[in-house]
Structure 1
Amino acid sequence: MTLRYLKWIAGAATGLAMIGSAHAGTITVYTALEEEEVAAYLEAAKEALPDIEVEALRLSTGDLGARLIAEADNPQADVLWGFAVTNILDPQIGDQLEPYEAAGLDQLADQYKADDNRWFAPVGYMGAFCVNKPRLEEIGAEMPRTWTDLLDPTFEGEVVMPDPGSSGTGYLMVAAILQGLGEEEGWQLIEDLDSSMAQYTTSGSRPCRMAQVGEYTVGASLSFVAMQGISQGYPLEMVIPEDYAGYELEANGLMAGTDNAEDAKRFLDWTLSDSATSTYSEYKAVVTIPGVARSPLADDANLPENLDDVLFPMDFAKSGKEREAIINRWRETVGR
């Protein structure tokens, strides 16, 4: 049966990536993975699963979470793919998932999967500063190594970061600061940092892309976007914050009550297969599956070999429980 790659339209409620043949089984997948990686992964999936058509809706973390909650009484998806564990731990979302022990799940360490097999996380992402070196020299600032360094007056209006209400990347940054410093000092730092912020974006990757072309000096963003920018020749330095380098796990799960359980489970099995994992390192700094080759981009950007040495020990359960309250307070504190 001949495969055909039909289309990829991202970021809207009608956006679909479809792979397979006109007569194949069809599953609907919701994801918050970045657009370019979704397209690449689905290209690999269509080779491994030629008899399944995948319709993938990609939304930002915040928008997808809101959609899942809104659809709770009438679920529209078969699979949740690449969604922040912090959000899945919200019972309004996590309770929509059905336990499933995917093939290959035993290779993941316990911290990368749910005790009841409702979700598992083969990949994740971490925050980083994307620093435009010529612009840094132009404003006469030192290379920022910590969040506190960004309080230097020379960075006023020179920093961009994601809005934690819409971006999982933005939320992990705020959550790491609060978990590291505690409520009082953490919120004070967040409030003080606002004077350095030119704007807050809805996308986790956009701040880095803005910094790489020189719109701003620092983009608080995703480490892998920084690695890509460096490989593409942009004058960037990637800085993993030495104080609170937050990270997030991206998990997959089976939607409860799906009418397409067999094909949905096969897709979930595929996400732990060699076909999928061989592609992960091309887009991810954090891969939880043992033995996956390190990306050459990681070496070019001087990403530490052992991420445990730099990542803040996030309490995902705490992040999930406090998410709504934190976002509400962030909006009250920042006010934009």
Structure 2
Amino acid sequence: MKKIAIGGLLLSLLMSLFLSACGKESPGTLTVYAGLYEDHAIKAMETFQKQTGIKVNYVRMSNGEILSRIRAERNSPKASIWFGGPADTFIQAKTEGLLEPYVSKNVEAIPQEYRDSEGYWTGIYVGSIAFVSNKTWLQEVGLQAPQSWEDLLKPEYRGMISMADPRSSGTAYTTLATLVQLFGEDKAFDYLRQLHQQNVIYTTSGSVPGRTVGMGEVGTAVMFSHDALKFYKEGFQNLIIGFPTEGTGYEIGAVGIIKGGPHQEEARQFVDWALTKQAQELGKQVGNYQQLTNRDAVAPEEAIPLEKLNVIPYDLDWAGQNRERLINKWTTEVLGVGKGKD
């Protein structure tokens, strides 16, 4: 009888442990919302997990989609880390109380211009807005690659331009904020309305236009130069990358901790890791070509330094604080949504 009792007790304990494990996430498992390319995100998650022993789940989304998800979950956050995507969206999240401040022990390796002074976000890479054109298409229509923002208004470009939608894409919002800072708000929105009349093809993701240009489905895209370099290296060697003579803007891709997310200690370890030279250099191993923010990190040879471009003095704080207003204005005044137009 004793043996049966002991065996029954052991079985009961084992079943209890099994059912408990099935009912909840393993302790210490981080959930990350990633704005990076899928291959870059996978490499980062695998390496972080291997080096720290902390298990990681991730979901890949565009930056605007990540912000919307964090807003929806603010009372019960599912993720702890926001990894990648333009920092102006992080700034909006900061103003809405959605991020947790953390000044990493590794922050001194990152120049001040690439990080939030209070630690709400820290830059991990930098990339510039570019014109990306299909060389074959340009030859067929007798055009040179666009040299200026005004070039995109030429009749030959009608129906052959693609860019992302700023409501979902950080790339597209960087473009919108660039034009407003470059030309002033009134002139920029007048330009955007004219550009819309060119039958622009809008996409959810900022990188998708590069692939459609490479396949010859459209002639020119407005997108980040490092995304275009990725497509070029993957075989779309009919791509031509150029930059507007009037000036262009750029992103600071960032990492931050989601307020109230589970496993905050592991989240801080992730930020510490993401700022290191070794972590930042992972992207080039899987074909990503951004400039890096860690002073000691070696960027890919193909990466285009901002110093070689005519970049505007992009006001990141202003862009973040005005993001919601400018996107709403673009939606109503350019798309005509909310004005009785389709």
Do they fold alike, i.e. is TM over 0.5? yes
2:79 maps to amino acid: A
The more displaced of 24-33 and 205-214 is 24-33
Q: By how many angstroms is 1:324 displaced? A: 1.5
Separation of aligned partners in 2, 1:276 and 1:122: 9
Q: In the alignment, is residue 34 of structure 1 matched against residue 37 of structure 2?
A: yes
State the partner residue of 1:17: none
Separation of aligned partners in 2, 1:104 and 1:254: 15
- CA gap of 1:91–1:268, structure 2 versus 1, over 3 A, is closer
State the partner residue of 1:333: 333
Separation of aligned partners in 2, 1:43 and 1:110: 29
Separation of aligned partners in 2, 1:296 and 1:259: 38
Q: By how many angstroms is 1:67 displaced? A: 1.3
Larger radius of gyration: 2
Deviations 1:168-225 (A, max 9, x none): 1011101101111001211111111113344111110011110011111101122112
- CA gap of 1:94–1:83, structure 2 versus 1, over 3 A, is farther
Specify which of 54, 68, 71 is matched with residue 69 of structure 1: 71
State the partner residue of 1:53: 55
Q: By how many angstroms is 1:91 displaced? A: 5.1
1:248 maps to amino acid: E
**Secondary structure at the counterpart of residue 268 of structure 1:** helix
Indicate conservation of the 8 Å contact 2:277/2:294, yes or no.
no
Indicate conservation of the 8 Å contact 1:131/1:219, yes or no.
yes
- CA gap of 1:308–1:68, structure 2 versus 1, over 3 A, is farther
The more displaced of 109-118 and 35-44 is 35-44
TM-score if structure 2 supplies the norm length? Answer: 0.84
Indicate conservation of the 8 Å contact 2:130/2:244, yes or no.
yes
- CA gap of 1:208–1:197, structure 2 versus 1, over 3 A, is farther
Q: By how many angstroms is 1:148 displaced? A: 1.0
1:321 maps to amino acid: Q
Q: By how many angstroms is 1:271 displaced? A: 0.4
1:33 maps to amino acid: L
State the partner residue of 2:215: 213
Say what the alpha-carbon RMSD is for the aligned residues: 2.1
Q: By how many angstroms is 1:333 displaced? A: 2.4
Name the one with the larger strand percent: 1
Specify which of 243, 246, 250 is matched with residue 246 of structure 2: 243
State the partner residue of 1:189: 191
2:70 maps to amino acid: L
1:170 maps to amino acid: A
Separation of aligned partners in 2, 1:256 and 1:209: 35
- CA gap of 1:74–1:23, structure 2 versus 1, over 3 A, is closer
**Secondary structure at the counterpart of residue 82 of structure 1:** strand
Deviations 1:130-154 (A, max 9, x none): 1100101111212101111111111
State the partner residue of 1:278: 281
Separation of aligned partners in 2, 1:169 and 1:128: 10
- CA gap of 1:232–1:139, structure 2 versus 1, over 3 A, is same
State the partner residue of 1:162: 164
* Structure 2 unaligned blocks of 5 or more: 1-24, 336-341
Separation of aligned partners in 2, 1:311 and 1:36: 28
Q: In the alignment, is residue 292 of structure 1 matched against residue 294 of structure 2?
A: no
- CA gap of 1:28–1:227, structure 2 versus 1, over 3 A, is same
Alignment of 1:1-336 (within 5 A): 25-49=28-52, 51-90=53-92, 95-234=97-236, 235-281=238-284, 282-298=287-303, 303=304, 305-307=305-307, 309-335=309-335
2:293 maps to amino acid: T
The more displaced of 195-204 and 185-194 is 195-204
Separation of aligned partners in 2, 1:125 and 1:318: 18
**Secondary structure at the counterpart of residue 90 of structure 1:** helix
Q: By how many angstroms is 1:43 displaced? A: 2.8
Indicate conservation of the 8 Å contact 1:141/1:155, yes or no.
no
Q: By how many angstroms is 1:71 displaced? A: 1.6
Separation of aligned partners in 1, 2:299 and 2:62: 27
Indicate conservation of the 8 Å contact 1:102/1:268, yes or no.
yes
TM-score if structure 1 supplies the norm length? Answer: 0.85
- CA gap of 1:223–1:196, structure 2 versus 1, over 3 A, is same
**Secondary structure at the counterpart of residue 118 of structure 1:** coil
Separation of aligned partners in 1, 2:165 and 2:195: 13
- CA gap of 1:233–1:96, structure 2 versus 1, over 3 A, is closer
* Structure 1 unaligned blocks of 5 or more: 1-21
**Secondary structure at the counterpart of residue 127 of structure 1:** strand
